[in-house]
Structure 1
Amino acid sequence: MKKFLSLSLLFSALAVSGYAQQKYAYSVDLVNIVNDQVAVNLTTPAITQESTVFSFAKAIPGSYARKDFGRFIVDLQAFDKDGKKLKVEKLNKDQYRINNATSLATIKYKVNDTWDTKHDDFIFQPGGSNIEAGQNVVMNNHAFYGYFEDYKKLPIEISVNKPEGFYGATHLDVEHPAKNLDLIKARDFVYLADNPVIYARPDTTSFMVGQSKINVFVYSATGKVKSAQVAEYLKPIAKSLSVFFNGLPVKSYQFLYYFEDPKKALADRDKGEGGYGALEHNYSSLYYLPEVEMEKRLVSMVNDVSSHEFLHILTPLNLHSFEIENFDFTDPKMSAHLWMYEGITEYFAHLIQLQNGLVDEKGFFKEMRDKMNQAEEFGSFSMTEMSKRVMEDSFQKKYSSVYNKGALIGFALDMLIREKTNGNKDLKSVIIDLTHKYGPSKPFKDDEFIGDFVAASHPDVKQFIDKYIVGSETVPYAEYFARVGYEYAPQKNVQAFYPGKMGLKMENGAFVFANVGDNPLKVKEGDVFAKMDGIAVTQDNVDDIWDAYFAENTKHPEIEITVLRGGKEIVMKGPIYDGHFKTKNYLAPMASPTPAQQAALKNLEGK
């Protein structure tokens, strides 16, 4: 992303127009919201063409699909300086042609939110907008504001009339000329779109990591989640990332969290209307997550999602192609390297947690196995072809493979680079070296990047890329996991013990058996799970207990379950079902790893 206006273009526009300053001057009213619509007024820059096109984003960086934000703009009108209406022609979902544009002075329209508007092609919440009068406004700026095709690089000012007590959380510069008035400034539309804003009553916490200030904003639908607790979750992650980068490469960063009532969020997701997750930006990230009652799972969720998004300060902020640098919001051209932007970022997000004790070895490799199972759903295809053609429907369906197949490619590349360089390099050092070669304001050429990557790593990496990234072959998992002492098999028969059909849910702070069917110990629907083999069940150990005794029980042919039923404690003990089951993508520690394999595992763990 370019940091400065083109001075030649700006001076040329000034000379022609005679204006003191060419800019977009927007005003929005967040106080008088009607039917979840926000009124927007634009005092336009001076237009020198007789006809001009006013556009809204068709697609946005970091979200690799057609969005057509113009769908949510209603009643767009244009006026001259005397208030006379000008002719406006709607060209498509996202663009309007305005004639007699040299006399254009004002554009007015209303913005519908994307979260609550029922429509096809629902926009994933972190990339959309939410408008709840008196409660909050999630202002992804690409969903609110348009631009003239020939005037993208002009500065933008937005006057925000806000409800009393509201605070605008953002990385953008915000001035406060009056009590309930904010003035937001951005150097151009690209920078504006890269920096979302959430307006709500403030719940913010900040902390320092080295020389970098980390700002945390939380909006929680029912008030269950607070910024102070989320900041505590983030501190170890931020510290780990600082170690990873040898100092964070940004002076400040904004985490913007919207925690939804899980009942509403699940209902929306079941209707195909979005889901949990986040969208990265260069200096911030915006999250749509559930208010998880069980804190251990809340911490895990926040860490997993936030570490991934935070890592995008490495790529694409400091390492990206011309397609990312000069993103065309109207007719986007895609980079071939989503395998790096998203896949390697996802791998690093889990590697950092492993290396800093935020997850253990078992948790890391369980995540890798889960990603193998997910990757199988997409079949075989070229990652670079998918990346270039991701806007097409057939390839859009494969996009989420970057978070599983892409991460596994990252793991295998890491193992290969470590081996071929005798441990002198790893995947992180290669990426860091490339960020030094390029950086935030120097993009690479898309078709030359693989050559750069190979030159920064090892010649043998070229064959790997040709087969598994440019080509459509599947990474030979057995070969790469064996290097750290793990056995892999596409399928394997495993002896296991099965307690019967039952699930578990949390109610009022207790774990309750649900969806109970036949089982040898006669557990009943609604029994409160109190103890397992005499060990009290808590939020800290319930996941490990469930894995060891229920989901993947290979060691306990007899178990003892203590439940509370009708206020009484009942102990049920005895043998459970015995059998074998066929598991796919089996991944487990080798019984007798070699010293070299053990050393490689310790090296991966950062020990």
Structure 2
Amino acid sequence: MKKFIPFSLLFSAISICSYAQQKYAYAVDLVNITNDQVAVTLTTPAISQESNVFSFAKAIPGSYARKDFGRFIVNFEAFDKDGKKLKAEKLNKDQYRINNATTLATIKYKVNDTWDQKHDDFIFQPGGSNIEAGVNVVMNNHAFYGYFEDYKKLPIEVSISKPQDFFGATHLNVEHPAANLDVIKARDFVYLADNPVIYSRPDTTSFYVGQSKINVFVFSATGKVKSAQVAGYLKPIAASLSAFFNGLPVKSYQFLYYFEDPKKALADRKNGEGGYGALEHNYSSLYYLPEVQYEKDLVSMVNDVSSHEFLHILTPLNLHSFEIENFDFTDPKMSAHLWMYEGVTEYFAHLIQLQNGLVDEKGYFKEMRSKMNAAEEFGNFSMTEMSKRVMEDSFQKKYSSVYNKGALIGFALDMFIREKTGGTKDLKGVIISLTQKYGASKPFNDDDFLNDFVAASHPDVRQFIDKYIVGTETVPYGDYLAKVGYEYSAQKDIQAFYPGKMGLKFENDMFVFTNVGDNPLKIKEGDIFKKMDGVEITQANLNDVWEEYFNENTKHPEIEITVLRDGKEKTMKGPIFDGHFKTKNYLAPMANPSAEQQAALKKLEGK
């Protein structure tokens, strides 16, 4: 059927179409880098106002603090089509007002990296930028590019001049018109900011889990860690997540790893300049981790942090509020539900490893106890209030509680839902049902979400929420741990045996005693740990041995240690110190759990 379109409407349609063709056209030079600064040139869209504000991000999704990326922009200049300089008034750290903006054609500036700059309010590395000429460029796009406040939704095209041997690892589609030129396109600034890029010489490995392609990129400062190695660690995690989701809800996902020389990373951390970790995005995650020589610890670290970030494809990708959906980079409004975005995600990250044999029962509950100890440092407060006010300094200090207190809330809430529904529902099922109600493109109302959560779980869940999530009460750990047959005490006096003051480091594929003080067996600094009670020490058993004989030894008043000293084996045997120590948040399997408790534990373990 043919429709008649009045002239006025036809004119309006043409105008909208013309407007839609406007774009931000950025040109970036990664070849001629000086003083860790990258030159950026923007061919601007046409501006219809006499003055407009150009902004850099003040805050970013997934990192709940003020960042002020405009601090790292220098030599900001605006020009008309004839090359005449226009007035650009700096309003604050992140914004410039450009006058005579209807004549604006070009903006030029330079980007400083955030990793190497010595400054207050250091930006956590996974959310910042690193610029090393000829080596690598970590390009978190929110740190490189800006936008006009009245033109946020325009498409963006970035042309990147690069060394010919550089590869841009990203979830974004990258065109390669020449060996030294990449072109990246994004539908708007939000999508560009959600997809970081790392440029360096390529080290990539890909594999499939079902129909989903998993891409792994690694930059390793000294070359110790390889992408194929990390991909091998990730395959069991990815398979476990696929089982958890009953198929991954994304067609592809990009893991971007930056492994730092641990000596440099340690120095940075001592100076208060960031730390290890990652930042999630909808279809990728960026990691800043140390090059750990001891492979068992490397595997554990990669599994813990990667499973957490990957799980964000559940929430907030497929379950989030309007504040997340319409994130305001200039004047951010926070959601009240960090307890779910981060806390439940962290709980699931460890639960998945337990259910799929990547950690055993002992390791899982050891992690739980560690979180209890960490949570105590933050005191009592409302998780929803902290979430809404996390940009304020007093609440920003409590943000990291989501990874311990939030995860413990997740565990207790899971146990509560299972009990109230007679095992017909659990926390995972509730969250997944809510992702089906909402999804990636349908945000929920922040104030209504808890009502939705109760409706999807059980009416009595409201009591739990009011006490421990909206309220300030501490979860009674013992009540929920008892349901799976575990004994809990806030503090317990334990008889134990102590081999003396000493530590251990992994060096040249050997475990070396270090920081050795007084000890009854006369272990010396630099001794190489070979055997404990006749059992050869390996990477596979070292952690268990250290835990049993050194950390909390309750069974061995006399031990036998064999070391390598001056190239010769030396065995030392005898009694060690004995005494008592007080431990907080004591956690151990009950001696005689009931059949119901044993069944609940098996169900938690996915058996």
Interval containing the TM-score (normalised by the shorter chain): over 0.9
- Pairwise CA RMSD of aligned residues? 1.1
Deviations for 1:318-370, whole angstroms, at most 9, x for unmatched residues?
00000000000000000000000000000000000000000000000000000
CA distance in 2, matches of 1:492, 1:338: 32
In the alignment, does 2:29 pair up with 1:26?
no
Partner of 1:432: 432
Partner of 2:292: 292
* Partner-residue secondary structure (3-state), 2:495: strand
Please tell me the residue identity of whatever aligns with 2:429.
Answer: S
Q: 1:14 and 1:474, CA in 2 relative to 1: closer, same or farther beyond 3 A?
A: farther
- Tell me, yes or no, if the aligned pair for 1:14 and 1:21 is still in contact at 8 Å: no
CA distance in 1, matches of 2:17, 2:88: 22
Superposed, 1:537-576 pairs within 5 Å as: 537-576=537-576
* Partner-residue secondary structure (3-state), 1:377: helix
Please tell me the residue identity of whatever aligns with 1:546.
Answer: W
CA distance in 1, matches of 2:558, 2:289: 39
Superposed, 1:169-184 pairs within 5 Å as: 169-184=169-184
CA distance in 2, matches of 1:376, 1:238: 32
Deviations for 1:224-249, whole angstroms, at most 9, x for unmatched residues?
10000100000000000000000000
CA distance in 2, matches of 1:576, 1:150: 72
CA distance in 1, matches of 2:111, 2:127: 15
Please tell me the residue identity of whatever aligns with 2:351.
Answer: L
Please tell me the residue identity of whatever aligns with 2:459.
Answer: P
How far apart are residue 136 of structure 1 and its match? 0.3
CA distance in 2, matches of 1:170, 1:454: 38
CA distance in 2, matches of 1:115, 1:568: 45
Deviations for 1:545-592, whole angstroms, at most 9, x for unmatched residues?
000000011111110000111111111001111111110000110010
* Partner-residue secondary structure (3-state), 2:448: helix
Partner of 2:327: 327
Partner of 2:362: 362
* Partner-residue secondary structure (3-state), 1:342: helix
Partner of 2:194: 194
Partner of 1:279: 279
Partner of 1:374: 374
Deviations for 1:15-37, whole angstroms, at most 9, x for unmatched residues?
28967820000000000000000
CA distance in 2, matches of 1:521, 1:128: 49
How far apart are residue 445 of structure 1 and its match? 0.2
Deviations for 1:83-135, whole angstroms, at most 9, x for unmatched residues?
11001100000000000001100000000000001100000000000000000
Superposition TM-score, scaled by structure 2 size:
0.97
- Tell me, yes or no, if the aligned pair for 2:56 and 2:330 is still in contact at 8 Å: yes
Please tell me the residue identity of whatever aligns with 1:359.
Answer: V
How far apart are residue 526 of structure 1 and its match? 1.0
- Tell me, yes or no, if the aligned pair for 1:80 and 1:104 is still in contact at 8 Å: yes
Superposed, 1:187-226 pairs within 5 Å as: 187-226=187-226
CA distance in 1, matches of 2:252, 2:488: 42
Partner of 1:445: 445
Partner of 2:7: none
CA distance in 1, matches of 2:12, 2:591: 72
How far apart are residue 183 of structure 1 and its match? 0.4
In the alignment, does 2:152 pair up with 1:152?
yes
Deviations for 1:285-324, whole angstroms, at most 9, x for unmatched residues?
0000000001111000000000000000000000000000
CA distance in 2, matches of 1:366, 1:171: 36
- Tell me, yes or no, if the aligned pair for 2:20 and 2:154 is still in contact at 8 Å: no
- The farther-off stretch of 505-514 and 261-270 is 505-514
How far apart are residue 14 of structure 1 and its match? 7.2
Superposed, 1:414-429 pairs within 5 Å as: 414-429=414-429
* Partner-residue secondary structure (3-state), 1:177: strand
Partner of 1:72: 72
Q: 1:12 and 1:395, CA in 2 relative to 1: closer, same or farther beyond 3 A?
A: farther
Please tell me the residue identity of whatever aligns with 1:526.
Answer: G
How far apart are residue 427 of structure 1 and its match? 0.3
Partner of 1:116: 116
Partner of 1:253: 253
Partner of 1:59: 59
Deviations for 1:513-569, whole angstroms, at most 9, x for unmatched residues?
111111111111111111000011111111100000000111111100001111111
Please tell me the residue identity of whatever aligns with 1:411.
Answer: F
Please tell me the residue identity of whatever aligns with 1:448.
Answer: D
Please tell me the residue identity of whatever aligns with 1:127.
Answer: G
**Structure 1 unpaired stretches of 5+:** 1-10
CA distance in 2, matches of 1:374, 1:110: 41
Deviations for 1:53-92, whole angstroms, at most 9, x for unmatched residues?
0000000000000000000000000000111100110000
How far apart are residue 452 of structure 1 and its match? 0.3
- Tell me, yes or no, if the aligned pair for 1:417 and 1:461 is still in contact at 8 Å: yes
Please tell me the residue identity of whatever aligns with 1:310.
Answer: F
CA distance in 2, matches of 1:229, 1:179: 28
CA distance in 2, matches of 1:97, 1:14: 30
Please tell me the residue identity of whatever aligns with 1:390.
Answer: V
Partner of 1:5: none
CA distance in 2, matches of 1:160, 1:526: 50
Partner of 1:133: 133
In the alignment, does 2:45 pair up with 1:45?
yes
- Tell me, yes or no, if the aligned pair for 1:14 and 1:22 is still in contact at 8 Å: no
Deviations for 1:431-463, whole angstroms, at most 9, x for unmatched residues?
000000000000000000000000000011100
* Partner-residue secondary structure (3-state), 2:465: helix
Please tell me the residue identity of whatever aligns with 1:481.
Answer: L
Superposed, 1:382-397 pairs within 5 Å as: 382-397=382-397
* Partner-residue secondary structure (3-state), 2:184: strand
Please tell me the residue identity of whatever aligns with 2:465.
Answer: I
CA distance in 1, matches of 2:199, 2:127: 16
- Tell me, yes or no, if the aligned pair for 2:54 and 2:149 is still in contact at 8 Å: yes
Q: 1:430 and 1:77, CA in 2 relative to 1: closer, same or farther beyond 3 A?
A: same
In the alignment, does 2:557 pair up with 1:592?
no
- Tell me, yes or no, if the aligned pair for 1:16 and 1:48 is still in contact at 8 Å: no
CA distance in 2, matches of 1:274, 1:402: 18
* Partner-residue secondary structure (3-state), 2:447: helix
- The farther-off stretch of 326-335 and 535-544 is 535-544
* Partner-residue secondary structure (3-state), 1:470: coil
How far apart are residue 178 of structure 1 and its match? 1.1
Partner of 1:465: 465
Q: 1:54 and 1:413, CA in 2 relative to 1: closer, same or farther beyond 3 A?
A: same
Deviations for 1:269-298, whole angstroms, at most 9, x for unmatched residues?
110000000000000000000000011110
* Partner-residue secondary structure (3-state), 1:296: helix
How far apart are residue 470 of structure 1 and its match? 0.3
* Partner-residue secondary structure (3-state), 1:254: strand
Partner of 1:6: none
* Partner-residue secondary structure (3-state), 2:336: coil
Please tell me the residue identity of whatever aligns with 2:276.
Answer: Y
* Partner-residue secondary structure (3-state), 2:439: coil
- The farther-off stretch of 318-327 and 20-29 is 20-29
**Structure 2 unpaired stretches of 5+:** 1-10
Superposed, 1:438-517 pairs within 5 Å as: 438-517=438-517
- Tell me, yes or no, if the aligned pair for 1:409 and 1:475 is still in contact at 8 Å: yes
* Partner-residue secondary structure (3-state), 2:332: coil
How far apart are residue 511 of structure 1 and its match? 0.7
- Tell me, yes or no, if the aligned pair for 1:129 and 1:137 is still in contact at 8 Å: yes
CA distance in 2, matches of 1:539, 1:164: 40
Deviations for 1:470-515, whole angstroms, at most 9, x for unmatched residues?
0000000000000000001100011111111111111211111111
Please tell me the residue identity of whatever aligns with 1:130.
Answer: N
CA distance in 1, matches of 2:20, 2:321: 35
CA distance in 2, matches of 1:108, 1:402: 40
CA distance in 2, matches of 1:16, 1:549: 73
CA distance in 2, matches of 1:543, 1:20: 59
- Tell me, yes or no, if the aligned pair for 1:14 and 1:20 is still in contact at 8 Å: no
